[in-house]
Amino acid sequence: MLAFILRRLGQSIVVMLVVAVVSFLMFRYVGDPIISMVGQEASIADQEALRDRLGLNDPFYVQFFRFITNALQGQFGISYRLQQPVTELILSRLPATIELALVSATMALAVGLVLGVFTALRPRSWSTGAIMSASLVGVSLPTFLIGIGLIYIFAVELKWLPSFGRGEVVNLGWWRTGFLTESGLRSIILPAITLSLFQMTLIMRLVRAEMLEVLRQDYIKFARARGLSKRAINFGHALKNTLVPVITITGLQLGSVIAFAIVTETVFQWPGVGSLFVNSVAVVDVPVMAAYLMFVAFIFVAINLIVDVLYYIVDPRLRVAGGR
Amino acid sequence: MKKTLTGIAVALLASSVLVSAASAETVRWARASDALTLDPHSQNQGVTHNFNHHIYETLMDRDAEGTLTPRLATDWYVKEGDETVWIFELREGVKFHNGADFTAEDVVFSLDRAKSEGSNMRQLHADVVEIRAVDDHTVEVQMAGPSPLYPNNVTNTFMMDKDWSEENDVVEVQDFGAGEDNYAVRNTNGTGPYVLVERDPDVRSVLRVFEDHWADAPAVTEIVYTPIADAATRVAALLSGEVDIVQDVPVQDIERLASTDGVKVETGPENRIIYFGYRFGDLRDGTSISGTDGANPFDDVRVLEAMSLAIDRDAIRQVVMRGQSIPTCVANPPFVAGWAPEFDACPPTDVERARELMAEAGYADGFSVTLDTPNDRYVNDEAISQAVVGMLGQIGIEVSLGSRPVAQHSPLILNNETDFYLLGWGVPTFDSAYIFNDLIHSKTAEFDNYGTYNIGLYENPELDEKIRSLGTMTDLEARDALVHEIWTTVQEDRVLLPVHNQVLAYAMRSDITLPVHPENQPMLTTVTFE
Amino acid sequence: MTDIATPEGRQGRIARFFDSDIVFSYRRSPIAILASIVALGLILAAVLAPWIAPYDPFNPRTLNLMDGFTKPMSSSFAGNYFLLGSDHQGRDVLSTILYGSRVSLLVGLSATLFAMTLGVGLGLVAGYRGGLLDTVIMRIADIQLSFPAILIALLIFGVARGLIPASQQENVVLWVLVLAIGLSNWAQFARTVRGATMVERQKDYVSAARIMGVPPFFILIKHILPNVIGPVLVIATIGLALAIIEEATLSYLGVGVPPTQPSLGTLIRIGQQFLFSGEWWILAFPAFTLILLALSVNLLGDWLRDALNPRLR
C-alpha cells in the first residue's frame, strides 16, 4: 500500500515537472509580454532593455531553471500586468473559484445522481426520454452563450439576480467567502448553474449507463430471486456498485470544473483564478500564466492520486496489477 | 431615484454643518479593464492613467479641445534668454492626501523618477537633462536643446510626495526582477480630488472625495470602480441597474441603451485614427503576396489609390460602426495640430475607376494578400477588416484574413512580418510630429527612437530629415508650414490607408452626465447630476 | 479491425450487425429515426451547401455591406432577398449556416475520430499490457487531463501558430483546430478504455483465450473492444458535440477559424454581439442549428449505445 502510494507520488512529481516544461514552452508562442508592458512610443532600445531586465534574453534552460528553483520555494515572481506577487494574487482569487466549483459540482452531482438513477430505473418511460433529451440541450450550446442567455433573462429582463461579480464578501482570515451574505449567495446562482450544466449531463448519463449495466449483472438477479426488496436492490446493491466509476469521473471532473470556470468566470466577471488567467493571456503575463497552469496541474494530480488510492481500496482486484 | 432622495436628505442635514458640501453621491463606474497599477510612472497606458488621474495630479491638463490647461502648474513658459529651459510655476496651498505640502521638491523628485530607468514614462522626458527647484513654487527644466513642445509631454506624468516615497521605499519604479512588489503599486498619496479607500485589482476599487483638495468639490463624492471584461455582461450590468456608468459600450448596443428608460448614451469623437498599412519594397521572405510574378503591388501608387477608392468608408460607418465613426482619408485626427480639411476629405467611392487603375498598374487580374488584423483592440476591428476584404474583392484583390488577439498581432506587426495590416493610433501630444516620428520616419539603426511603428518600412531620407527637424523648431509658424509640407508628401505617397476616426460612447443612468473625453480618459469630477 | 477477420467472419459479422437486432431496434425507436433523419438532413445540407445555398457567403465579390442587418424574410435596399435575414457583413444567414455547418462538421468529426482512434488504441494497449507502458501512457494522459481541454487546444493552437509562417496560417487553420481539439480530448477515451480493459482482462474468458494462444491484438479487438464500446460511444457522442462547442469557445477567445470562413461556432460568437441590439436572427438561427445538430447526434449515440451493448439487448 505504502509502496503503491509512494510510487504514484513519484509519478505525480514527474507529471508536475513535465507540465512545468510544457507550460514554459508555451509562453514562447502566445505572444510578446514586452508589447503590453511598455507604452506605444517606447523605442526598440527601451523594449530591449526591459527584455533584458526581465531575463527574457537568457537561454531557454537558464530561464527554466530559474523558474523551477523559484517555483519550488512557492515564488512565481511578480505579475507583469498587476505588478503584485503572483502567489498572493492566486491565493486571493482562489476562494472565489473553489466556492464556485464546489457549488456547481454539488449541484451537478445531486441532480445528476437523482436523474441518473431515476432514468435507469424507468428505462422505457416517456419521462426518461424527455429528461435524456432535455439534458442534451444544455450541452449543445457553448458555455458563454448559456451564461449570456441567463444574464439576459434573470438579470436584465427579470432583474432577479445580479449579472456580474461576487456581491459582498466576508473575510475569514485570508479566505474571502461569499457564502455569508445575501448578495454573495444570490451572485453565485447564475455562474454555478452555467458551470454545472455540462457536468450534470455527464454525471447523469454516466450514472444511468452504469446503473443499467449493474442491474443486468447476475448478482442482482440472484438478489431479486432471493426476494430482496426492490429498494434494497436498487439502492443497497446497484447504486453502491455504480458509485465507483461515478466517483472516479466526478473526481476527475473537478479539475475540469475549475478549468471550465475560465469561460464562466469571464462571462460573469467572477473574480476567480480563471478570469485572472484569461486577463493574463490577453497581455501575455507569463508569471501568472505559469503559476496558474502549475496550480491546475497540481490540483489535477492530487485528485488523480486520491482517486487512484480510492480505487485501490475499493476494488481489490486491482491490487494485483496496481501493487506490483 | 430613492438613492437620490436619500442623498438629498443627507445633504440637507449635512448642509447645516458643511456649507460647501454637495449632496453625497456614489457613482458605480464600469469599464472593460482595470488600471494595471497605481504606481504613477510604471505604465504608460490609457486605462491606468485614467484611474490614476483621480488620485494623482499632473502639472498640466488638457481640455476637451486638446488645449493645455493649468493643474498643479499655474503657468509655464520658456526661460527668457535660454530657449532650452522651461519654467513651471506651481500652484500654492496644494496638499497631499497625507497632509504634506506640495512643493517644487516634489516636482523635481517626480520628474526624476518619471525619467528613471524603470519608468515607462521616460520616453516622454528623453530630452530632459536636469530638473531644478528655483524656489518652493518654481521649477526649471533644462532640456538638451530647444523643445518647444515639451509641455505636451507632461499631461500624464503624475506628481508624487518625495518624503512619502522615501519613507515607503518607492523612490525606484517597480523592479520586476526583484521578486517583490512596490508599495506604490497598491498604496497612494496624491494631491488629486479622490482618496483611495479600497483596492482589489480586477475586482473593485473605491475612491472617496478628498476634503482638502484645492479645487471646487466635485458632485461625485464616492466612486466604486468595477472592471467588467465581457461586453455583453457590461451592458447587462447597466441595464439591470447594477452600475451607473459604462465606459466601453459596443457600438451595436448604443441604440438599445439609448431607447431604454432610465439610461442614456453620450458619444463624441476620440483622438484616435484607424488605418491600414502595407509593406513597401521587395517582397519579404514568407510573403503572403501572390499572383504578381514577384513584384510588390504596393510599390505602385496606382494600386494604393485603387484600394482607397474601392473602400466604401461611408458603408463601414453606417453598417459596421452603426454611424459611430468619422470617415477620413488622412491618418491624423482632427484634434491634432497639422490636420487640414483638404487631406481629410475623401473622393467618392468609385469601384470602376479603381478597376481601371488596377488595370493600368498591370493588375487587371488582381493579386492575393493576407490582411493581419487584431480582433480585440479597437472598436469592431475585425468587422472593419472583414468588410474591407469584401470591398477589395470587388477590384480583384483576393484578401485572406489573419485575425488575432492583439498580444499576437503586435509582435507580427513590430517585427515587420506582415504585408497588409490594420492598426489604430492615438495622438496624446495633439501634434503631428508624434505621428511622423513613429509611423512615417524610416526604421533605421541610426535613429532608433524613430519609426517604431513604420511597419511598411516606408523610406524617404529627405522626409526623415524634415521630421527630425520638427523637434527643435521654435518658430511655430515655420513649423506649421513644414508639418503641412510633410503631410502633403505623406498623402501623395499614400504611405497609409486611413479608414476613420473612432467615436467613443459612454452609457449612463439618465440623471447623470459624463461628457466624452477625446482621449477616453473621463474624469468623474466632470459628472453632473440633474 | 477488418484485417484480422476472415472474409466469412467479416461477412457474418456485418450480416449479424445489420440483419437482426440493430435494425429491429432502430425500427422500434421513433427517436432514433427522427434523430437520424435530422442529422442526415443537416449533414446532407452541409455537404451540398455550394449547390443549394442561395448565396456564396465566402465570395467577397458578391457581398454588399449595405445588405447588412436585413430582417428575415425581407429584401435589402440593394434588392437582395434573405430568407433568414443577413448578418453584419451583408451575408445571407441561411447560406452562412449551410457553409458553417460544413466547417463545424468537418472539424468536429475529424477531431473526434482522431481523438477516439488515439485514445482507444492507447487505452487498450495500456490496460492490456500494463507495466511500464501503461504507466507512461497513463501519466501522459494525466498530464493532458491536468490541463483543461480548452487550455490544451489554446496551447497547441498557439504553438502551431508559432511554428507555421504567418502567411500560411489561414490555409491550415482548420487542421490545426482538428489537431488541437483532438489532442485535447483523447485522454478521456484512453482512461475509460484502459479501466474497462483492466477489469475485462482479469476475466476468465480472456485468460482462456490467452492460454489458447489467441494473439493479443485479436483478443483486444474481438473480446475486449466490444465490451468497452458502450462507454466509448457515450464519450464519442458527447465528444462530437463537445468538439463543435470547443471550436466555438476557441473562437470566443479569439483564436478560432477566421470570420471570413465561419463555422457555426464562429457564427454564434459573432451573433452573440447582437443579442441586446435586436438583430436576434444573426444569433438565433446558427444557435438553433447547432442545438439541432448536437442534439440529434447525441440522441443517435444514445440509441446506438443501447442497441450495440449486448447486455442491454
A178: CATH: 1.10.3720.10
pLDDT at residue B265 is higher than 90:
yes
CATH classification at residue C68:
1.10.3720.10
| Optimal mutation site among C89, C157, C167, C177, interface B, most CBs of chain B within 10 A | C167
Assess whether A102 and A41 both reside in one domain: no
Chosen for mutation from B233, B235, B252 (greatest number of chain C CBs closer than 10 Å) is: B252
At B27, which helix (H) or strand (E)?
A: strand B26-31
CATH, residue B249: 3.40.190.10
Answer whether residue B185 is part of any domain: no
Contact A90, A273 (CB under 8 A): yes
In tens, the pLDDT along B353-377 reads 999 999 999 999 999 999 999 888 8
A-proximal residues of C, 153-172, CB under 8 Å = 154-155, 158-159, 161-163
Give the model's confidence band at B14: pLDDT under 50 very low, under 70 low, under 90 confident, else very high: very low
- β-pairing verdict for B420-426 and B263-278: antiparallel
Q: CA B375, B376, B379, B380: dihedral to nearest 10 degrees?
A: 30
Q: Which of A37-41, A231-235, B114-118 has the lowest mean pLDDT?
A: A37-41
Asked if the model's pLDDT at residue A40 lies above 70, the reply is: no
Average pLDDT score over residue span A59-69: 80
Those chains having 3 or more beta-carbon pairs within 8 angstroms of chain B are A, C
Confidence of residue C229 (pLDDT cuts 50, 70, 90): confident
CB-CB neighbors (< 8 A) of B418 in chain C: 166
Nearest CA to CA, how far is B349 from chain C (Å)?
A: 13
Tell me which H or E stretch contains A133: helix A126-139
The pLDDT, as a whole number, for residue C207 is 82
Indicate if A24 and A165 belong to the same structural domain: no
pLDDT band (50, 70, 90) for residue A211? confident
pLDDT attached to residue A30: 63
Q: Are residues A183 and A294 in the same domain?
A: yes
Helix and strand numbers, DSSP H then E, in chain A:
14, 2
Please compute the mean of the pLDDT values over residues A245-251 and round it to a whole number: 73
Instruction: Examine the domain organization and report whether A37 and A107 are in the same domain.
Output: no
> Do B172 and B226 lie in a common domain?
no
Q: Same structural domain for residues B277 and B386?
A: yes
**Searching chain B, which residue's CA lies closest to the CA of residue A49?**
B117
Q: How far apart are the first and last CA of chain C?
A: 24
When pLDDT is averaged across residues B82-107 and rounded to a whole number, the result is: 95
Instruction: Give domain status of residue B218, yes or no.
Output: yes
Say if A57 falls within a structural domain.
yes
Boundary of a domain, candidates A13, A38, A72: A72
SS3 label, residue B70: strand
- Residue A324: pLDDT band with limits 50, 70, 90: very low
User: Rounded mean pLDDT of C202-208?
Assistant: 81
In chain A, pLDDT over 90 holds for what percent of residues? 7
Cβ–Cβ of B390/C88 closer than 8 Å? Answer: no
C186-201 vs C131-146: helix crossing angle, rounded to 10:
150
Other beta carbons within 10 angstroms of residue A57's beta carbon come to: 11
Q: Provide the domain limits for residue C238.
A: 7-312
Decide if pLDDT at C252 tops 60: yes
At B20, the pLDDT band (50, 70, 90 cuts) reads very low
Same domain, B346 and B468: yes
Q: Is there a single domain that holds both residue A96 and residue A47?
A: no
If asked whether residues A222 and A308 sit together in one domain, one would say yes
Q: State yes or no: pLDDT of C129 exceeds 90.
A: no
Domain range holding B528? 1-32+193-262+510-530
- DSSP, collapsed to helix, strand or coil, labels residue C55 as coil
Q: What is the mean pLDDT of residues C209-226?
A: 80
Asked whether the beta carbons of B232 and A164 are under 8 A apart, the reply is no
The whole-number pLDDT of residue B222 equals 95
Domain contains C1: no
| Contact at CB, A85 and B179, closer than 8 angstroms | yes
Q: Check C151 against A259: CB less than 8 A apart.
A: yes
Looking at the structure, tell me whether residues A303 and A178 fall in a common domain: yes
Query: Is there a single domain that holds both residue A243 and residue A119?
Result: yes
Count of domains for chain C: 1
Residue of B nearest to C257 (CA): B403
Q: Do B7 and B78 sit in the same domain of this protein?
A: no
C59: chain B residues, CB-CB within 8 Å:
393
In a domain, B181, yes or no: no
Residue C312: pLDDT band with limits 50, 70, 90: very low
What is the reported pLDDT for B7? 47
Per residue in B501-520, pLDDT (tens digit) is: 999 999 999 999 999 988 88
C210 versus B322: the higher-pLDDT residue is B322
Residue A118 within any structural domain of the chain? yes
Q: Are C172 and C129 in contact (CB under 8 A)?
A: no
Q: Which helix (H) or strand (E) holds B224?
A: strand B222-227
**Does C135 contact chain A (CB < 8 Å)?**
yes
- Please report whether residue A21 resides in a domain: yes
Question: A140–C290: do the CB atoms touch at under 8 Å?
Answer: yes
A198 part of a folded domain: yes
- A209 and C31 in contact by Cβ < 8 A? no
Rounded to an integer, the average pLDDT of A298-318 is 73
Q: Are residues B378 and B400 located together in one domain of the fold?
A: yes
Of C60, C69, C276, the CB nearest to B390: C60
Neighbours of B67 (CB within 10 A): 10
Residue B282 pLDDT greater than 80, yes or no: yes
Q: Which of residues 178-237 of B touch C (CB under 8 A)?
A: 231-232, 235-236
Please indicate, yes or no, whether residues A57 and A118 belong to a single structural domain of this protein: no
- CB–CB of B388/B308 below 8 Å? no
pLDDT of residue C14: 55
Q: How far apart are CA B66 and CA C158, in angstroms?
A: 41
Partner residue opposite B235 with nearest CB, options C165, C253, C276: C276
Distance from CA of A292 to the nearest CA of B (A): 16
Mean pLDDT is highest, among A179-188, B158-167, C200-209, C244-253, for B158-167
Taking CA atoms, what residue in A is nearest to C127?
A321
Distance CA B509, CA B27 (A): 10
**Model pLDDT, residue B22:** 45
How far does the CA of residue C143 sit from the closest CA of chain A (Å)? 6
Range ranked top by mean pLDDT from A166-170, C230-234, C249-253: A166-170
Are B457 and B343 in a shared domain? yes
In a domain, A54, yes or no: yes
> Is the ipTM here above 0.95?
no
pLDDT class for A141, splitting at 50, 70, 90? confident
pLDDT (mean) for A23-46: 67
Q: Say if the Cβ atoms of C276 and B382 lie within 8 Å.
A: no
Residues A37, A118 within the same domain: no
Q: Report, as an integer, the average pLDDT of B430-447.
A: 89
Phi, psi (degrees; rounded to nearest 5) at B485: -65, -45
pLDDT band for position B142 (50/70/90)?
A: very high
Q: Does residue A283 fall inside a structural domain?
A: yes
How many angstroms separate the CA of residue A20 from the nearest CA in chain C?
10
CB contact under 8 A, C166 and B376: no
Cα–Cα distance for residue pair B469/A276, rounded to 1 Å:
46
Strand, helix or coil for residue B513: strand
Cβ-based neighbours of A253, under 8 Å, separated by 6 or more: A105, A199, A202, A203
Beta strand ranges found along B288-434 (DSSP E): 325-327, 367-374, 397-404, 420-426
**Best residue in C260, C261, C275 for a mutation probing chain B (most B CBs within 10 Å):** C260
Residue-range definition of the domain harbouring residue A49: 2-72
Which residue of A42, A164, A271 is in closest CB contact with B237? A164
Q: Is residue C2 part of a domain?
A: no
Residues of chain C contacting B, Cβ within 8 Å: 59-61, 63-66, 68-69, 88-90, 161, 165-170, 253-255, 258-260, 272-279
Chains with ≥3 CB–CB distances under 8 Å to C? A, B
- pLDDT tens for residues A255-291? 777 777 888 898 898 999 988 888 887 777 888 888 8
For residue B489, tell me if it sits in a domain.
Answer: yes
**CB < 8 Å to C159, chain A:** 25-26, 29
Report the pLDDT value the prediction gives residue B18, as an integer from 0 to 100.
40
Domain boundary among A40, A72, A104: A72
The pLDDT value recorded for residue C160 is 72
Task: Identify whether residues B414 and B518 lie together within a single domain.
Answer: no
Q: What is the pLDDT confidence band of residue B23, given thresholds at 50, 70 and 90?
A: low
Q: Would A80 be classed as within a structural domain?
A: no
pLDDT, tens digit, 9 for 90 and up, residues C27-36: 777 878 888 8
Give the span between the Cα atoms of B388 and C209, in whole angstroms.
Answer: 66
- Do A32 and A170 share a domain, yes or no? no
Q: What is the CATH number of the domain that holds B282?
A: 3.10.105.10
The set of chains that have 3 or more CB pairs under 8 A with A is B, C
pLDDT for position C146: 60
Classify burial at B27, counting beta carbons within 10 Å of its beta carbon; exposed 0-12, middle 13-18, buried 19 or more.
buried
Gap from C248 CA to chain A (nearest CA, Å) = 7
User: Chain C contact for B324, CB < 8 A?
Assistant: no
Out of B21-30, B59-68, B292-301, give the one with best mean pLDDT. Answer: B292-301
The CA distance from B132 to C171, in Å, is: 60
Chain C residues whose CB is inside 8 A of the A197 CB are none
pLDDT tens digits, C168-198: 666 677 888 888 888 888 888 888 888 888 8
Instruction: Measure in Å the smallest separation between the Cα of A180 and chain C Cα atoms.
Output: 30
Is residue B201 included in any domain, yes or no? yes
CA angle B112, B116, B117 (to 5 degrees): 175
Question: Where is mean pLDDT largest: A38-42, A217-221, B504-508?
Answer: B504-508
Percent above pLDDT 70 for chain B: 95
Same domain? B286 vs B435: yes
**In-domain check, residue B217:** yes
Domain membership of residue B182 (yes or no) is: no
Is the full-model pTM beyond 0.90? no
pLDDT, average across residues A304-316: 72
Cβ neighbours of residue C192 closer than 8 Å, sequence gap 6 or more: C123, C228, C231, C232, C235
Size of interface B-C (CB pairs under 8 A): 103
pLDDT exceeds cutoff 50 at B5: no
| CATH code of the domain containing B102 | 3.90.76.10
Both B233 and B317 in a single domain?
Answer: no
The total of structural domains in chain B comes to: 3
Q: What is the DSSP string of A156-190?
A: IIS--S-SSS--S-EEETTEEESTTSHHHHHHHHH
Residues B257 and B347 in one domain: no
pLDDT at position B214:
94
Examine the domain organization and report whether B159 and B80 are in the same domain: yes
Shortest distance between the Cα of C130 and any Cα of chain A, in A, equals 8
Residues B220 and B294 in one domain: no
Dihedral (CA of B204, A284, B36, A63) sign:
positive
For residue B251, being part of any structural domain is answered with yes
Residue of C nearest to A32 (CA): C162
Residue to test with chain B: of A82, A158, A292, most B Cβ within 10 A: A82
Residue A29: what pLDDT?
A: 64
Does one domain contain both A43 and A123?
A: no
